A and B are shown apart, each in its own frame.
Chain A
Amino acid sequence: MKQIQLPLSARDIAILHAGETVTLYGEAVIARDAAHKRLYAMLQTGADLPFSLSGACIYYAGPCPAAPGEVIGPCGPTTSGRVDAYTPALIEAGLSAMIGKGARAPEVVHAMRGRAVYFAATGGAAILLSSHIVAAEVIAFADLEAEAVRRVTLAGMPVIVAIDAQGNSALWPIA
C-alpha cells in the first residue's frame, strides 16, 4: 500500500487519485465543529491561529478521553460536511489535507483544486484508527474538551483518497 508523508508534497497533491487506498504518516491537527467556528472567526479578524495552516492536515474527529496507558482515546472520523462552510477559507490559508468521512460541498471541492486532498477514514473504526496515532497533545481550545484542538502524529493510518485535487471523487454519487 502506498505510504504518504504529511505534510503533503506538491507532487503528492498532484498525483494522489480518488479511490486510492494509502497510509498516512506524520503530523496532523485534530479539529471539528466548535474549533472550526473559532478558527474561522480568527481568520476573519486576522488573529494569530494556534497552529500554522500552511501545509496543514486537519483530521475531523473528537476522541474519547484516553484511558490509562492510551496515547489518545478511540478516535474515528466525524462527518466532514458540518465544517464545509469554513473549509474554503482554511484552504485559502494553506490547508492542504483533510481526513474525515462523507461528502463535501461543491465549494470545498472547488477550493481544493490544485491545492488540497480529502481523505476518508472509516467511520466507527475508532480503535483501529487510534492505534495508528502515536503521539497526541492538546494545543488549543482545551475548554472544548472532546472538541479541543490536538496535534497528533500518525503512523500508518489507513485512508482512502475520497476527493483529489483535480476534483475527482470516489464517493457516491459516483459519476
Chain B
Amino acid sequence: MEIFYEFLNTTGFAMMTWGNAIMILVGITFVSLAIMKDYEPLLLLPIGFGAIVGNIPSIQGMALNVYDEGSVLSYLYFGVSKGILPPIIFLGIGAMTDFSTMLSNPKLVLLGAAAQVGIFLTLIGALYMGFNPSEAGAIGIIGGADGPTAIFLASKLAPHLLGSIAIAAYSYMALVPVIQPPIMKLLTTKKERLIRMKAPRHVSQREKIIFPIAAFLVASLIAPGALVLIGMLFLGNLLKESCVTERLANTARNAMIDIVTIFLGFSVGASTQAQTFLTPQSLLIFGLGALSFAIATAGGILFAKLMNLFIREKINPLIGAAGVSAVPDSARVVQIVGQKEDPHNFLLMHAMAPNVAGVIGSAICAGILWSVLVK
C-alpha cells in the first residue's frame, strides 16, 4: 500500500501546479486555433502540443523535460538552443521562394527595409522598460515577423527568453490577419487602396540564378552576422533556380523543412514550462511583440506612401504591410484588404516582393544586432 501511495505522489496530478494547468490550457488553445481556425497550423499545432508535454510535471531525479541534462527532449531542444534548426528552415524557405516579382520591380525591395523599423523601435521600448541591451535586441527581432530569425537571435543573445520570444513571434505571425488590416485601413485612403500596379515583367533564368549569389555577397559582406541565415536562404534558392539540383531543392522544401518544423515547434512548445514561462517578463515580451508587429506594418505602409511622392508609377501602399516578412501570410492579407476595395485588383504577386525582401531584411537586422550586442 505504501508503494501505491508513493506512486500516487509521483503522478502528474499530485505535482501539478496552477501554472502548469494554465500552460496546458494555452497549449490546448493553440492546438484548437490551428485545427479550427487554420491559424499557422504547421507551427501552432506542434508548439501547442509541445506546451502540453512540457507542462506535465516531471519526477525529481528523472531526466524528462527539455531543461534536464541528458533527457530525450533536451537533445531535441539542442537544435533550438544552439540556433541549428532556424538556418535549416531558411534553406527550405529559400528552396520554396520565387524572387521573380522582386527581381521584376526592384524598388519594392526598399519596403522590406522600411518595415524593419519595428525591430529597432521595439528595442528602444524594451530598453526603456529595463531589459538589458541583449534582451532588448532579442525582443526587438519579434518585429521582423520571422519565427526562425527570432529563435536564432534569441538563442544567441538571450537564451533564457527563448521560449517567450519564440511563442510571441509565432503567435503574432498566426495573428497577422487580425493585427494588420486595421492598421492598413487606418493609414491609407480609399483612393490609395484602389491603386492598380503594372504587371511584373518576365524575369530570365539567368537573372534568377545570379541573384542569390550576388545578394548573398552583398548582405553577408555588409552584415556578417547574417551569414548563416542568409547563406542558407540563398543556397536553398540557388538549388531551386539552378535547375540542376532539383532533387536537393525538393528535399529542402518538402521533407527537410517538414522534419525540422516538427522538431522546432515541438521543442519550443516543450520549453514553455510554467515555472520559467509564466513570469511578468513574458507578459512584457508579448506586449512589446504586438507593438513591434504594429510598428513594422505601419513603417512599411508609410514608406510606400513616401515613395509615391517621388515615383511616376504609383505603388499601392497596402503592399508596404507585406514588408514584415511573415511569408506568405502578410502578402495574402494585402490581397484580401485590396480586394475588399476592388475585387479585380490582384496585389498578391506585387506584395510578394516586399514580403521576400522583408525576410532578407530581418535576417540582416538579426546579423546587425548579433554583431553589435554580442558579449
Decide whether A and B assemble into one complex.
no
